[in-house]
Amino acid sequence: MQEVDYKKLKYEVISVEKTTAPEGMTGDNWHLYIVGHGKSKIEGRRPGTLKDVTKHAEIFAEDLNTRMSGGGSTYAPRKRSS
């Protein structure tokens, strides 16, 4: 099995598009965003303007990249500060 160099992987916003509200939620201004790298993709839905949801997705991708810069997993819990 090939070793993965996590420092070279960069999460980025793949797409942001208008969608319907999730079941049980109200409103008509929802967007689906996809953030990922390679085969790894994370989808989220958020209400707001296209601009606001795109900014949220960009910040989310940056956060994932920061968490990955130490070579760990994005699924690992964050370390608590004392």
* Residues 22-51: tens digit of each pLDDT: 999 999 999 999 999 988 999 999 999 999
53 domain-assigned: yes
Q: What is the pLDDT of residue 67?
A: 85
Q: What is the mean pLDDT of the chain?
A: 85
40 domain-assigned: yes
Domain span including residue 44: 8-68
**How distant, in Å, are the alpha carbons of 1, 15, 22, 81 from that of 62?**
28, 15, 25, 20
Count up the domains in the chain and report the number: 1
The answer to whether residue 82 scores a pLDDT higher than 80 is no
76 domain-assigned: no
46 domain-assigned: yes
44 domain-assigned: yes
Q: What is the pLDDT of residue 68?
A: 79
